[in-house]
Amino acid sequence: MREFGRGVRMLLAGFGWWRRRPGLMMLGLAPAAIVGAALASGIVVLATHLDVLTDAATPFADSWPGLWATLLRIAVGTAMVGGALVLTAALFTALTLLIGEPFYDRIWRAVERDLEGTVPEARYGFWRAIGDAASLITRGVLVALAAALIGFIPAVGALLSVTFGVTVTGWLLADELSSRALAARSISAPHRTALRRAHRARALGFGVATQLCFMIPLGAVLTMPAAVAGSTVLARSLLEDEKPTRTQ
């Protein structure tokens, strides 16, 4: 729990940049607001048509006794919403980072400069951003499907689905957000994965806290610049903890 809490504090450190560099952080609001508005409208459409969708997905339940048909459709509706929320978080992060790459590049570089005085020279690159966005969306779809299926488990499905979705999506967010600061140091994808796995609780603390903030109305828009700043702190901490291992 100590390492998990450390990861949460790194997101809080990212929020601290709203006080230190408000003008810079404001740059990250525009792409987040555009993507957030588009995805929020999709969630609203899903919510308003949920009854129709659940009925269409379970036509075989029309002949069931009323109570059992209702329970089944509640489970299906819960699974749909849970899966949609998980997918939305992945889509939001991938699309916002892709669209707002120039703005978020300035944020993480400012954090690097403030913490160390220098900025890594390796560029993240447009095509790398495209590839990472596609990878995150693909993994988000798979996690959303898994969360939806878990939602069908009787009695505890909804709770398990939410827990699974928040945890696994949190890991994906920590992976994607910290990749920029790590890739800028020419660290390969397998090495980046190994770094996060070596400090899994810390990465999860950061990612889960970010995901929970994303679930608050308008929270995703305000959190995104802070998450970029905080993920830079996370990436640096992973590298700093690796140094003693390398010297042994």
**Is there a domain that residue 248 lies in?**
no
**Is there a domain that residue 126 lies in?**
yes
> Residue 8 and residue 202: Cα distance in Å, rounded?
8
> Residue 153 and residue 172: Cα distance in Å, rounded?
24
**Is there a domain that residue 211 lies in?**
yes
Q: How far is CA 162 from CA 44, 108, 133, 211, in A?
A: 19, 30, 23, 11
- Which two three-digit tokens encode residue 85? 């929320």
**Is there a domain that residue 175 lies in?**
yes
**Is there a domain that residue 149 lies in?**
yes
Contacts of 104 (CB under 8 A, 6+ apart): 28, 97, 180, 225, 228
- Which two three-digit tokens encode residue 84? 């949609």
In a structure prediction context, what are the per-residue pLDDT tens digits for the chain, which is 248 residues long?
A: 889 999 999 999 999 999 988 988 998 999 999 999 998 898 888 888 888 888 888 888 777 887 888 887 887 887 888 788 888 888 898 899 888 888 888 898 888 888 876 777 666 666 677 888 888 888 888 888 888 888 777 777 778 888 888 899 999 999 989 888 888 888 888 888 898 899 999 999 999 999 999 888 788 899 999 999 999 999 989 888 776 554 44
Q: How far is CA 23 from CA 17, 26, 56, 97, 106, in A?
A: 10, 5, 48, 18, 11
**Helix 200-214 crosses helix 219-247 at what angle (to 10 degrees)?**
170
> Residue 44 and residue 37: Cα distance in Å, rounded?
10
**Is there a domain that residue 247 lies in?**
no
**Is there a domain that residue 72 lies in?**
yes
**Is there a domain that residue 87 lies in?**
yes
Using alpha carbons, select from 168, 195, 169 the residue that is nearest to residue 181: 195
- Residue 123 confidence (pLDDT): 65
Domain assignment of residue 33, given as a range: 2-241
Number of structural domains in the chain? 1
